């Protein structure tokens, strides 16, 4: 069964977009199964084989320019990829988003030319994975409160500090670590710098934190104890990149919000499709439960939200491609899609009745994945504050 979403999405009706969507769908159908997603969620293992195949299929190169080995994809193509991966397979989405997108986008937008040439081809080929370490025990939403410190000693920085709630550390080759290279003045975000730290370097230790959902990519805290990082590994190069960490993080926010919005609208779409199928097939009182108006209205409400979330996500991507401002639309889309995904999954559990609460159906897995949306990648409270700021309210 299909919602035929692409037929009503005005942003991706071109032959090229449709062909690309079909390519990603074919890959998902060929290389992934629901059983694989269930198993990886249960074991918390990363799908290395699948990751390799995705790199070979060229998907890792979509958001990156051809001169670095990428596919020169547009924001809309990137959105299609995120949408189809997240709809098709939680494992496939996990392979791409954390280890490839976050590290690659950071290098693309902020790296020196030398760093782009060194790292992007390896990321695109699937030979290098990264993770992004900003959050600390006392610095979550207040990101400028970080205290992890890097001090120059000869040609190397010496890094000390504690990061927490960091995704994918065990599978990363490089930790993009946001740290302080000077005092927190004149502004709270002054003197922040991003260093590319070798995850296997002496002095790097990490501990797994068990989490509720999306378990194929693990969650960790990291301890840096006198870790030596060559100064050339400053994002943006040395000395140019020193103190530019805050600006560097802002650079990638638009694409990040487009990505998150597309991803969670796809989770909502998947949950809706499963619920719809169940409502058509499950019979009670001698008829499919979808004949009862209570279920019909619940599904109609789910469908309305799923469509709106997808359209908002693609609108933000379209604006980006047109070179128009999209920060507000991206924040709106992230907020709406993540709230929608959670609500649609919970509604889906209701439609499935008792089976919705069991581990034998996938609705609980989607719901567990959806729970992260409103919290991660800038909480929705913070997204709403951004919208309010862009509306000129403060
Ligand atoms: C599964 C998972 C993966 C993650 N991966 C990464 C990662 O790879 N790298 C990384 O750096 N971080 C990562 N994080 C951390 C994530 O970015 C933070 O959890 C998030 O930014 C919120 O910070 P916090 O948890 O400290 O909550 P807090 O900042 O303590 O917020 C608690 C509550 O207060 C609200 N709040 C805080 N300040 C304000 C305000 N000014 N106005 C209104 N409300 C406010 C928040 O919205 C939230 O509801 C991950 C988290 C999770 C759960």
Q: What percent of the chain has pLDDT over 90?
A: 94
Nearest CA to ligand 1 atom 26: 140
Name residues contacting ligand 1 (CB within 6 A).
131-135, 140-141, 165-167, 211, 219, 372, 375-376, 379, 381-382, 385
Q: Who contacts 81 (Cβ-Cβ below 8 Å, separation ≥6)?
A: 20, 24, 59, 62, 73, 96
Pocket test for ligand 1, best of 215, 216, 375 (most atoms within 8 A of CB): 375
267 & 347 share domain: yes
Q: Who contacts 126 (Cβ-Cβ below 8 Å, separation ≥6)?
A: 51, 52, 54, 55, 56, 60, 100
Question: Which atom of ligand 1 lies nearest, measured to the CA of 163?
Answer: 11
Q: Which tokens hold the place of 214?
A: 């999306």
> Ligand 1 centroid vs 8 CA: distance in angstroms?
35
Exposure string of 342-363, with b = 16+ CB inside 10 Å and e = fewer, is bbbbbbbbebbeeebeeeebbb
> Is 198 buried (19+), middle (13-18) or exposed (0-12) by CB count in 10 A?
middle
For range 85-111, the mean pLDDT: 92
139 pLDDT more than 90:
yes
Pocket test for ligand 1, best of 376, 386, 387 (most atoms within 8 A of CB): 376
289 & 359 share domain: yes
Torsional sign, CA 291, 292, 293, 295: negative
260 and 79 in contact (C-beta within 8 Å)? no
Q: Of all helices (H) and strands (E), which one includes residue 284?
A: strand 283-284
> Ligand 1 centroid vs 269 CA: distance in angstroms?
25
Q: What secondary structure does DSSP assign to 163-207, as a single string?
A: EEEEETTTT-SEEEEEEESS-S-SSTTTTEEEEEEETTSTTEEEE
97 & 218 share domain: no
Q: Which tokens hold the place of 76?
A: 């809309």
For 121: left if phi > 0, alpha if psi spans -120 to 50, otherwise beta; the answer is alpha
How many Cα atoms within 13 Å fall on the side-chain side of residue 388?
8
Q: Who contacts 229 (Cβ-Cβ below 8 Å, separation ≥6)?
A: 150, 156, 157, 158, 159, 195, 196, 197, 198, 201
In this predicted model, what pLDDT tens digit does every residue of 330-387 receive, in sequence order?
A: 999 999 999 999 999 999 999 999 999 999 999 999 999 999 999 999 999 999 999 9
> Ligand 1 centroid vs 25 CA: distance in angstroms?
33
| pLDDT value at residue 7 | 52
Q: Supply the CATH number for residue 22's domain.
A: 1.10.540.10
299 & 190 share domain: no
| pLDDT value at residue 1 | 39
121 & 137 share domain: no
| pLDDT value at residue 97 | 83
**Domain assignment of residue 290, given as a range:** 252-390
More confident residue, 273 or 100: 273
5 pLDDT more than 60:
no
Question: Which atom of ligand 1 lies nearest, measured to the CA of 135?
Answer: 11
258 & 346 share domain: yes
71 & 185 share domain: no
In this predicted model, what pLDDT tens digit does every residue of 174-205 receive, in sequence order?
A: 999 999 999 999 999 999 999 999 999 999 99
> Ligand 1 centroid vs 145 CA: distance in angstroms?
13
> Ligand 1 centroid vs 375 CA: distance in angstroms?
6
259 & 385 share domain: yes
Q: Supply the CATH number for residue 239's domain.
A: 2.40.110.10
What is the domain count for the chain? 3
Q: Supply the CATH number for residue 346's domain.
A: 1.20.140.10
234 & 267 share domain: no
Could you tell me the pLDDT band of residue 100, with boundaries at 50, 70 and 90?
A: confident
> Ligand 1 centroid vs 49 CA: distance in angstroms?
31
265 & 178 share domain: no
Residue finishing a domain among 190, 224, 243: 243
> Ligand 1 centroid vs 136 CA: distance in angstroms?
10
152 and 234 in contact (C-beta within 8 Å)? no
| pLDDT value at residue 102 | 84
232 & 288 share domain: no
Question: Which atom of ligand 1 lies nearest, measured to the CA of 377?
Answer: 17
94 & 216 share domain: no
Pocket test for ligand 1, best of 165, 252, 368 (most atoms within 8 A of CB): 165
Residue finishing a domain among 243, 264, 288: 243
In this predicted model, what pLDDT tens digit does every residue of 200-256 receive, in sequence order?
A: 999 999 999 999 999 999 999 999 999 999 999 999 999 999 999 999 999 889 999
Residue finishing a domain among 243, 263, 289: 243
104 and 63 in contact (C-beta within 8 Å)? yes
């Amino acid at each position: 069964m299909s919602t035929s979403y692409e037929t009503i999405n005005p942003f991706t009706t071109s032959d090229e977009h449709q062909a690309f969507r079909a390519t990603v769908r074919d890959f998902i159908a060929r290389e992934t199964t629901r059983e694989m997603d269930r198993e990886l969620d249960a074991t918390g293992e990363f799908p290395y084989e699948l990751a390799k195949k995705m790199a070979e299929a060229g998907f890792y190169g979509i958001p990156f320019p051809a001169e670095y080995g990428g596919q020169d994809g547009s924001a809309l193509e990137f959105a299609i990829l995120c949408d189809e991966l997240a709809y098709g397979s939680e494992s496939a989405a996990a392979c791409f988003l954390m280890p490839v997108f976050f590290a690659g986008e950071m290098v693309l937008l902020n790296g020196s030319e030398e760093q782009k040439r060194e790292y992007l081809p390896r990321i695109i080929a699937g030979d290098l994975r990264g993770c992004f370490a900003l959050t600390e025990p006392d610095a979550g939403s207040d990101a400028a409160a970080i205290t992890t410190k890097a001090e120059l000693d000869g040609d190397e920085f010496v890094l000390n500090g504690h990061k927490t709630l960091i995704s994918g550390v065990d599978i990363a080759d490089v930790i993009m670590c946001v740290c302080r290279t000077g005092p927190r003045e004149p502004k709270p975000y002054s003197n922040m710098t991003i260093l590319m730290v070798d995850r296997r370097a002496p002095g790097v230790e990490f501990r797994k934190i068990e989490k509720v959902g999306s378990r194929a990519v693990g969650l960790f805290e990291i301890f840096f104890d006198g870790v030596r990082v060559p100064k050339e590994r400053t994002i943006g190069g040395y000395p140019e990149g020193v103190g530019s960490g805050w600006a560097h993080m802002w650079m990638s926010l638009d694409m990040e919000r487009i990505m998150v919005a597309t991803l969670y609208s796809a989770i909502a779409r998947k949950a809706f499709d499963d619920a719809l199928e169940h409502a058509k097939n499950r019979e009670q009182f001698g008829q499919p439960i979808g004949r009862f108006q209570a279920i019909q209205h619940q599904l109609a409400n789910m469908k309305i939200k799923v469509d709106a979330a997808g359209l908002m996500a693609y609108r933000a991507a379209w604006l980006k491609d047109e070179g128009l401002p999209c920060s507000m639309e991206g924040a709106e889309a992230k907020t709406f899609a993540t709230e929608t995904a959670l609500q649609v999954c919970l509604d889906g559990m209701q439609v499935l009745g008792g089976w919705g609460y069991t581990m034998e159906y996938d609705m609980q897995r989607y719901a567990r994945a959806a729970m992260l949306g409103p919290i991660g990648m800038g909480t929705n409270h913070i997204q709403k504050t951004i919208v309010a700021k862009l509306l000129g309210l403060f």
